[in-house]
Structures are given as C-alpha cells and as structure tokens.
C-alpha cells in the first residue's frame, strides 16, 4: 500500500470511529495519538456549591508537608473558586480550584494539543484514573511529573476540581503527581463528608 493509501485508510478509520461506527455506545473516542478525547461519565455527583471555600477543603498537613507554612490565598474568577499556597519565592506549590466549566471534559479535549515548543504533545503525561471513585485525569508537561502536575476530577453537572502541585529550583522533583493525587483524594473525601 502506498503512503497516500495508508494515510487515507487511517483517516477513514478515524472518521468512522469518531462517528461511533463499530464502537459500543458510551465507549471513549480515541484520537490520533491514541489518547481518549472524551471523559468517562460521572456516576456520583459531588456538590461543589456546598464547598464555598476551597482553602478549607485541603487539610493543613498537605501544604505543611510541602514546606508551605502560610495560609492558602482564596481567589475567584473565570467560573472558578480557587486557593493557592505559595512558597517563599511565590511559586504556586499547590492550587485547588472548584470549577463550573467542566474541566474534566476540557482536559480530555485538550489531550492531543501540540507542545508550543514543537516537542510532541503538550501533556507528555496523560493518565486517566479515579480519585475516591470519581473519574479523574493526571496530566503533566513532563513525563516524570516534575515541576507541575495536575489532577482533574469530574464532579458531575459540568463541575470539577483541578488540583495542581508544583516545585521550582532545587525542589524540582518528580513527586508532584503524588502530591497532587494525595491532595485531590483529601479534597474529594472532604466534599463527601
């Protein structure tokens, strides 16, 4: 088969799979890079309206474990309420956002976004997962999750939680995803209480 024929066949498969031909109802649509581009359904909704303060949803031990001793700073804007804990050089070490803009669906739509620097995909790490039973996604711009890692959690009704953990300088380690997942678990648990 010629290169042109192979490309045409690949495009036909993508077009057919995008239309749902030959796939089970509700099956995730898989994009060009082999990543799902639609999120799983949220089976159990969480009420984000009841959590008016994202700073209060994070146990104090998490920022302290990162060496962040100050209180979280609440912010609001763009359909989000969020809290930021920063270290001495004002790098956001941990951020928790409650969003009404369906961040999980947006994260899946963003699965195959090219890296602005031309180095493959923007999100080198892209792992669908679950956080305390809620559909979630772990993503980072580096495969080891260093510098910055995000966990996006679906809460139903178009809402979601985005937890980011970051580091800079000598503390730029690969543990950011562990921190973000741990914080996301704590936040979801506190919303269930």
pLDDT at site 81: 86
Q: pLDDT tens digits, the chain, 193 residues: what are they?
A: 443 333 333 332 222 233 233 333 455 566 656 789 999 999 999 988 777 788 887 777 777 766 676 788 888 887 788 998 876 655 668 889 999 899 999 999 999 999 988 888 999 999 999 999 999 999 998 898 888 899 999 999 999 999 998 876 665 666 789 889 988 998 898 888 7
Rg value, the chain, Cα:
18
26 half-sphere exposure, CB direction, 13 A CA radius: 3
pTM, entire model: 0.78
- How far, in Å, CA of 139 to CA of 121, rounded? 11
Please provide the DSSP assignment of 150-162 as one string: EEEEEEETTEEEE
Give me the residues paired with residue 97 across strands.
82, 162
pLDDT at site 131: 96
> What is the edge-to-edge ordering of all strands in the sheet holding 159-166?
73-77, 80-86, 92-99, 159-166, 148-156, 134-140, 125-131
Task: Provide the 3-class DSSP secondary structure of residue 80.
Answer: strand
Contacts of 38 (CB under 8 A, 6+ apart): 28, 29, 105, 108
């Amino acid at each position: 088969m010629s290169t042109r024929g192979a490309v045409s066949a690949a495009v036909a498969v993508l077009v057919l799979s995008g239309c749902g031909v030959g796939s089970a109802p509700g099956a995730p649509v898989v994009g060009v890079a082999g990543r799902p581009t639609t999120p799983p359904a949220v089976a159990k909704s969480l009420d984000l309206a009841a959590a008016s303060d994202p700073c209060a949803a994070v146990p104090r031990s998490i920022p302290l474990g990162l060496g962040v001793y100050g209180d979280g700073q609440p912010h609001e804007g763009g359909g989000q309420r969020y809290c930021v804990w920063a270290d001495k050089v004002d790098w956001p070490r941990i951020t928790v956002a409650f969003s009404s803009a369906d961040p999980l669906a947006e994260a899946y739509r963003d699965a195959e976004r090219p890296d602005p620097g031309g180095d493959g995909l923007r999100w080198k790490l892209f792992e669908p997962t679950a956080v305390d039973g809620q559909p979630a996604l772990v993503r980072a711009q580096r495969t080891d999750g260093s510098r910055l890692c995000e966990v996006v959690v679906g809460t139903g009704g178009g809402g979601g939680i985005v937890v980011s953990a970051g580091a800079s300088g000598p503390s730029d380690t690969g543990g950011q995803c562990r921190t973000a997942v741990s914080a996301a678990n704590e936040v979801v648990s506190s919303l269930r209480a």
